[in-house]
Chain A
Amino acid sequence: MNSERIVEEVKNVLGGLAREIAWRKGYLEVLVEATNIIEAAGKLKSMGLDHVKSVTAVDYPKESKIRVTYHASSYSREDLMGFIVGLSVDLPRDNPEMPSLVSVWDGSVEFQEREVYEFFGVTFKGHPDLRPLLLIRELAEKRVLRKDFVVKEESIYEGVPFKYD
């Protein structure tokens, strides 16, 4: 299947739900509204995109938004295996909240939504078990992958008094 045909198919399947469809390097990005995401994900799944490779979140403090992308692909349709469709949604940075897609994509997103929750503070409504996966609670509260958490480079002499007496 060539790339124009997959764009056509995604457009037909999603109908008016897609706000924007564009090729990035290596995947087709489809932007939808947060309120429509369960419906859009269900339609993509019925098309054959049966699992999610990555739940990717990116913080854009200048535009005051967090973009969450579900990079989905297929194990069951051979012509779709070579393609990745990124179902994206923009969330407000001060209160990022969206419906969980565990009801659609099951185990392939369960742990990764927990990761996005702890690193970005995005709340997934309807997630069966939303709690930090990799970080301890104190660290998760700092939303470490957001841009306003700055990594401080420590020198190896940090705190050692600079005196040679």
Chain B
Amino acid sequence: MTSGGLEAGGQIPGFIVKKIEKEVYEIFIGPQHPGSGHMRIIVRLDGDIIVEADPDIGYVHRTMEKLSEVREWLKPIPLLERMTIIDACNVTLPYVNALEKLMDKKPSTRASYLRVLLCEINRVASHLYGMGIFGVFIGHSTMYMWAFGDREVFLELAEALTGARLTHTYPIPGGVRRDMPQELPGMARRAVRYMRRRLEEYRKIFVDNPVIVKRLSGVGVISKSRAVELGIVGPNLRASGVKYDVRIAEPYEVYGELDFEIPVFEEGDALARTWVRVEEIKQSLNIIEQAVNWLETHKGEPVIAKEDFDKLPKLHKEVYEREGRVKFVPAHATMKIPAGKAVARGEMGRGEIFYYVESDGGITPYRVRVVTPSARNAIVFKHVVPGHTLMDLPAIYGSIDYFPPESDR
């Protein structure tokens, strides 16, 4: 086709201009793909540049909000922690806090410290899990092996504290289920020392590795204003220069009394998001040390609210004295909670989790709404990924530490 318009406009004579309609290809990544998790991302490609990405995240829906409405107040706790079993205390604690707000109940200080201790153990394990998966995504298998191996240290710590590696079901309204075993402070201090040493090795092989730096810097940049508009949470938000952490913004449990910092980076790219996680592990290790120090020096207080403990029959008190675990009276299972609406939030490893709990005074919740950090980070796929090459997709996916079962609850 000769272009009359161009010739008429005085372009180079005799030159034939062809208009080529570029083709856009549509690729379905997942749900059965090693780089997708339990979800599908539909990407439209021009060459290898992504022009549009549509996350299709509903592959593991378990109707948790609906099921919570047909179960007695305590039973959603083991259900809801299935959203993120690798972060099980953080994910259920705000639900328990919401119930406590409705009941006007305060946990004992010892219980608060135990909750914080487990939350921080969970946070370290969650970040290590995220970094391990990230290693797989960008072809760094050493990071995967190391992170998953070291995560085991913290799972064993959690097991010593609660009796379960992952699904602890530890916090209950007014307290926690078990007291700390005697050998835990020693274990925790060893784990902290070990992890500090390992983080230095992580720096050398992963975050300061020239290959990784080249691969991640400038990829998936989210500016500060864009991060706020998209409402993303957690390390991804703090990597874009917003200093927001629920533990500081609205301190819950005993976070107000502990000494820790919120790492913030300005770059907003995949590398900065990785750095935030590394720095946060350091802060969590500090908190673990402070918590075990406090727990060791303040013994004697029960791990459930005092008014609940006083009501326990003699046999239950004996079990508590002997084994340090709380044996419940059956009334707990069918307790009623005063009518009202409550909101509670907490900072999980991946970011802020939000609960809305409404009671009509019955034995089951009237409505439970939960918004998890991954549910709020999912928007990144749609608005940040376009414009990158296809090979950047795993790097962005891994760097936002997206976890499909948490998003699709």
Contact = CB atoms under 8 A, between A and B. Distances in A.
Interface of A: 24-27, 29, 50-54, 56-59, 69, 71, 75-76, 81-82, 84, 86, 105-112, 119, 132-136, 144-145, 149, 151, 153
Contacts of B358: 58
B57 interface: yes
B180 interface: no
A53 B367 contact: no
Given A24-B343, A27-B343, 8 more contacts: A25-B98, A26-B344, A50-B228, A59-B367, A82-B250, A84-B343, A105-B231, A108-B376
Given A24-B340, A58-B358, A71-B354, A134 B57 contact: yes
Interface string B45-71: 000000000000110010101110110
B63 A144 contact: yes
A111 B378 contact: yes
Contacts of B66: 144-145, 149, 151
Contacts of B215: none
Interface in B374-403: 375-376, 378-379, 382-383
Contact of A108 (B98, B229, B242, B366): B229
Given A75-B242, A75-B244, A107-B230, A132 B58 contact: yes
A9 B66 CA distance: 36
A149 to B, nearest CB: 8
Contacts of A69: 356
Contact of B231 (A53, A133, A149, A151): A53
A135 B61 contact: yes
A164 B367 CA distance: 43
A56 B358 CA distance: 11
B170 to A, nearest CB: 22
Interface of B: 57-58, 61, 63, 65-67, 69-70, 98, 101-102, 227-231, 237, 242, 244, 249-250, 340-345, 352, 354, 356, 358, 366-367, 369, 371, 375-376, 378-379, 382-383, 408
A26 B98 contact: yes
Nearest to B54: A129
A29 B371 CA distance: 18
Contacts of B376: 53, 108
Nearest to B375: A111
A136 B366 CA distance: 25
B380 to A, nearest CB: 9
B239 to A, nearest CB: 13
A25 B102 contact: yes
A53 B250 CA distance: 14
Contacts of A76: 228, 242
Given A53-B352, A75-B244, A151-B67, A26 B58 contact: no
Contacts of B249: 81-82
A135 B244 contact: no
Contacts of A86: 343
A53 B224 CA distance: 17
A119 B367 CA distance: 13
A25 B340 contact: yes
A107 B69 CA distance: 29
Given A81-B244, A145-B65, A25 B101 contact: yes
A26 B101 contact: yes
B197 to A, nearest CB: 35
B65 A56 contact: no
14 contacts: A50-B228, A53-B354, A56-B356, A58-B358, A75-B237, A75-B244, A107-B229, A108-B231, A109-B231, A110-B382, A134-B408, A136-B58, A149-B66, A151-B69
